[in-house]
Amino acid sequence: AEHQHVRYNPLRDDWVLVSAHRVKRPWQGQLEKPPPEDVPRWDPKNPLCPGATRANGEVNPKYEGTFVFPNDFPALQPDAPEPDDTDHPLFRAAPAQGVCKVMCFHPWSDLTLPLMSLPEIRAVIDAWAEQMTELGASYPWVQIFENKGEMMGCSNPHPHCQVWASSFLPNEARLEDRTQCQHLSQHGVPMLLEYAEQEARRKERLVVENADWLVVVPYWATWPYQTLLLPRRHVCRLQDLSDSEKDSLASIMQRLLIKYDNLFEVSFPYSMGWHGAPTGTYLEKDCRHWQLHAHYFPPLLRSATVRKFMVGYEMLAQAQRDLTPEQAAERLRSLPEVHYKKRAE
């Protein structure tokens, strides 16, 4: 905890430098603005609100639960032409087609996931599984991800996520496919299933757990309060979860996100996303090496206004963190599971 060392990340086949003593240095860098607390519940000018008009002129229905629609500015389109052939191996290109969607979690703009009810969170999980099934029938990779907060590049405070389906396996998916396949071949057990069992027994990086799930600050975490959400049984894809596992997933997500908000008593920014076995033609292949999991990457380090920057050494050498994963887990674990906005109720 006091001396620098490097830790191996078997999921990405890389290393992170841990320098716990650096957290004691005074901060003289940039201070971020806390997120606004006065988000209106409904704003006719907000393109994600029920009944609002979006940039393309379409009017949203007056939805009362989740709402999924095609992204008006998609990064991937299903009918994109193939690139021209190249004349040199250093200038390679390949086709890229896909579909991008936006999913609103709730009709209210001021209600983030940790403030939603368990049935409302379960409805989000069901919508995620539906999108994975629908898009995964055609596309090999379906990436569900949520950018929460302006600090993570989110331009709209309305609670929502995105779903991008691609005709190719993205870099992180290809990397995790390779490392998990190698682990199963060498050790005879899926990597993250074995890892979850180890963390459940050791408990030093455990944040929250229930009968079906556990959340840990991974041993190899890069971001200060990064967490990994893992099922206890072997399950390859989000759509493979049972009803009871979806209920307990809603519960553990709520508990984790309340702790995040309680850490600095602010709507906690993060990027999160689900990783599971590829889909499309991979549905017919052996994907036993995969284990479903969700990554949470929050940027905050010392307070609601001081963030972790990935620059310099991180960009040119390797990832580096100050707070140890064990210290981060202990702090998150000790936080109350009643949201700070509801304590006076």
The answer to whether the annotation marks 308 as part of a ligand binding site is yes
Residue 106 to residue 112: CA distance in whole angstroms: 8
Helix axes 118-136 and 243-264, enclosed angle (nearest 10): 120
The answer to whether the annotation marks 309 as part of a ligand binding site is yes
The three-class DSSP label of residue 169 is coil
Look up residue 304 and give its two tokens: 């609601």
The answer to whether the annotation marks 342 as part of a ligand binding site is no
The answer to whether the annotation marks 295 as part of a ligand binding site is yes
Residue 321 to residue 315: CA distance in whole angstroms: 13
The answer to whether the annotation marks 60 as part of a ligand binding site is no
The answer to whether the annotation marks 345 as part of a ligand binding site is no
The answer to whether the annotation marks 162 as part of a ligand binding site is yes
The helix (run of H) or strand (run of E) holding residue 94 is: none
Q: Which residues are identified as catalytic?
A: 160
Residue 296 to residue 250: CA distance in whole angstroms: 15
Could you tell me if 104 and 63 are in contact, meaning their C-beta atoms sit under 8 angstroms apart? Answer: yes
The answer to whether the annotation marks 7 as part of a ligand binding site is no
The answer to whether the annotation marks 246 as part of a ligand binding site is no
Residue 237 to residue 277: CA distance in whole angstroms: 6
- Residues of each annotated binding site: 22-25, 55, 71-72, 147, 153-155, 162, 176, 275, 293, 295, 308-309, 313-314, 320
- Residues of each annotated binding site for UDP-alpha-D-glucose: 22-25, 55, 71-72, 147, 153-155, 162, 308-309, 313-314, 320
- Residues of each annotated binding site for Fe cation: 176, 275, 293, 295
